[in-house]
Structure 1
C-alpha cells in the first residue's frame, strides 16, 4: 500500500477514535447528571444546576451539595481508576481474566482496615481509608517483590500472577480470622466488602484524588512501553524498552489507582475485569487509546450501577458493588466460555 493511500486511512482511524472518545466523555457527563438528579428524592436538572451555581438553604440544595456531588465525584474517580488499572493489569500479565485485585490490593486494604480497628482503635471512615490505602500499597509491593524472586529483569506475567494469588489468599485468611474476633471489625468489613460510594463526604474525595491523579499520569507514561511489551520482550528490548522499568511503572500505576479506589469504596467487583474488554472492542490493542477508553467506560459503568441501585429497591437502595456483581458475573461467564480465548 502506497504512502498516499496509508495517510488518509490513518487519519480516518484517528478521527474515529477521537469521536468515540468524545462519545464516552458524553456518556460520563450523562451519568453525572443522572447521579446528581436521581435518587430517593429526584431533583429536576434545572434545580440541580441552581443548587450548584447559586446554592440556598433549601433541602434539595443541601442534599445535592453535601451528599450527591461527593458521591458522584467519588464514583467518577473510582471508575476511572479501576478501569485504567484493569487495562494495565491485563496488558502486563497478558491475561484476559486478570483484574487489579491480582496484585493483592483488595485483600491488603481489607486486612489493614480490620487490623487498625482491632489493634489501633480506628473508628472513623477517614482513618479506615488511610489504613486501607497503606495496606493496599504494602500488599502490592510484596507481590511485586515475590514476583522478582529468582528472575531477571523484573517479574514475569506468570510469577506476578502466582505471587498475587498467593498473597491475596493469605491475607484473606488472616482477615477472615480477625473479623471473627471483633464485632466492630466484622460490621466495617461486611459493609466495605459489598462496595459502596455512598456516605462519603468531600474530604474522602480530596484524600484519594492525589493518588488517582498520580496513577493516571503513570498509566499514560506506561502506555507506549506496554505497546512494545505486547510484541514480546525480545522485540521490546530491540526497540529500546527497559523491561524492568516498564513493568515497575505499570505496577506502580495499578497500585496507586486500585489502592485508592478500593480503600475509599471497598471491593467494586468486575470493573477492572470487564471494562478493558469493552474498551478493547472500541479502541483495539493500542494502549495509548485503550487506557483513556477504559477510564471513561469505568466511570460511566460505576455511575450507572449506582443510579440503578438507588431505584430498583425503594425506599432503600442496593450498594453499587452488588449491582456491579450482578452485571459482571454473566459477562465473566460469557468470557470464560468463549470458544476462542481473547489474546492480548
Structure 2
C-alpha cells in the first residue's frame, strides 16, 4: 500500500518541510561528532572569528563536510532517478552505469603513473574525466547495433564496463602498494577532508545538472510510457537520452570526483520519493535532491559514532543502510 501525497499543496508543504529538515541535519552535522559544539560557538566562528581550535574545526572541517554531503547526496539521488528512467531498471544507479568504477580506474592509473605528484584537486578532476569517459563508452556501446539504445543494452553495457574497470583498478593496486594506500580511502567514499575550495569547484556542475534535470522532467514522464508512445507524442528520444547521459555525468561524475564512489544513495532515495509523490518527475526530481542530501548528511553524522573515536567512511554507512533496502526491493518485485 502506497502513501501518496495527492494534491499540489500537500506535495509543496512536505517539500518545504524536507528543506527545513535538511537544514537542521546540516546544523547537527556541524555541531556533533568526536567533539561537540554549542550553536553559539558556530555562530561566533562567522561573526567574531578569534582563531580558536573550535572555530577552526567548524569553519574548515565541519561546514565544508556538511555542504559536500548535502550537494553530493542530492546529486547522487537525482542521478539514480535519471538512470532508472533511462534504463527502466529499478536498481539502476551511477555504480551500475559504470561511472564510479571508471572514475576510480582513472584515478588509480594516475596515481600509479605519477605517484605523489598529484594533489587532491588534480585527483578530483581526473576522477571527473574518468566518469565522463566511462559514461561516453557505455552510451556508445548501449546505442550500437539494431534499434539503437535500449534499457537492456545500456544496463548490460554498464555492468560490463564497471566489471572491467574494477578488475583493472584491482590489478594496478596489487602491482603497487603505494598506489593502494593512496587510493584506498578515496575508493571507499568519504566527505571528510574536503574543504570549501574543493566544493566550490564542483558545486556549479552539480547545480547545472539539477537545473537541466528540471527541464527534462516532462520528457522523462513521456518516456515512462515507452519509446514508441513518446515518439508519437513528438519526443526526440535519441536526443533526450543523450541529454540524460550528459546530466548524469555532471551529477554523478561531479559527486564521485568530490567524495569518491558512495553507493546506494542513487538506489534508495528515488524509491522513497516515488513512494511519496508517485511517478511524476516534476515532483520526484526536487524531492530526490532534498531527500538525497538529507540522507547523506545523516549517514555521515551516524558514521562518526559507529566506531568512536575512529570515524567510519560514509560510504560504509550508506552500504549498511542500503543493502537491506535493495534486498527488500528485490523481494517485493519477486512477489509482484
In structure 1, how many angstroms separate the alpha carbons of the residues matched to 2:318 and 2:236? 37
> Are the counterparts in 1 of residues 6 and 277 from structure 2 also a CA contact under 8 Å?
no
> Are the counterparts in 1 of residues 190 and 262 from structure 2 also a CA contact under 8 Å?
yes
Query: How far did 1:52 drift?
Result: 2.6
What does 1:99-248 align with in structure 2 at a 5 Å threshold?
A: 99-121=93-115, 122-152=117-147, 154-248=148-242
Where 2:95 maps in the other structure, the secondary structure is helix
In structure 2, how many angstroms separate the alpha carbons of the residues matched to 1:242 and 1:102? 25
In structure 2, how many angstroms separate the alpha carbons of the residues matched to 1:184 and 1:247? 40
In structure 1, how many angstroms separate the alpha carbons of the residues matched to 2:118 and 2:264? 29
Residue ranges of structure 2 left out of the alignment (5+ in a row):
none
Structure 1 stretch 14-23 or stretch 182-191: which is displaced more?
182-191
> Residue deviations 1:197-248, cap 9 Å, x none?
0011112101211221221122112111010000111211121111011111
Structure 1 stretch 45-54 or stretch 242-251: which is displaced more?
45-54
In structure 2, how many angstroms separate the alpha carbons of the residues matched to 1:219 and 1:102? 20
Q: When the two structures are aligned, how many residues end up with a matched partner?
A: 331
Residue ranges of structure 1 left out of the alignment (5+ in a row):
1-10
1:90 aligns with 2:90: no
What is the RMSD computed on CA atoms of the aligned residues?
Answer: 1.6
TM-score (norm 2): 0.95
1:276 aligns with 2:249: no
In structure 2, how many angstroms separate the alpha carbons of the residues matched to 1:56 and 1:171? 48
Where 1:102 maps in the other structure, the secondary structure is coil
C-alpha spacing 1:281/1:219, structure 2 compared with 1 (3 Å): same
Where 1:95 maps in the other structure, the secondary structure is coil
The match for 1:4 is none
Structure 1 stretch 212-221 or stretch 13-22: which is displaced more?
212-221
In structure 1, how many angstroms separate the alpha carbons of the residues matched to 2:53 and 2:192? 18
> Are the counterparts in 1 of residues 95 and 263 from structure 2 also a CA contact under 8 Å?
no
What does 1:12-91 align with in structure 2 at a 5 Å threshold?
A: 13-91=7-85
Where 1:67 maps in the other structure, the secondary structure is helix
Query: How far did 1:182 drift?
Result: 1.3
Query: How far did 1:150 drift?
Result: 1.0
TM-score (norm 1): 0.93
C-alpha spacing 1:192/1:247, structure 2 compared with 1 (3 Å): same
C-alpha spacing 1:114/1:341, structure 2 compared with 1 (3 Å): farther
Where 1:103 maps in the other structure, the secondary structure is coil
> Residue deviations 1:312-336, cap 9 Å, x none?
3221211111111111111111111
Query: How far did 1:340 drift?
Result: 5.6
> Residue deviations 1:7-53, cap 9 Å, x none?
xxxx9710011011111111211111111101111111122122133
1:336 aligns with 2:330: yes
In structure 2, how many angstroms separate the alpha carbons of the residues matched to 1:83 and 1:273? 7
Query: How far did 1:184 drift?
Result: 2.0
In structure 2, how many angstroms separate the alpha carbons of the residues matched to 1:339 and 1:155? 25
Query: How far did 1:94 drift?
Result: 0.9
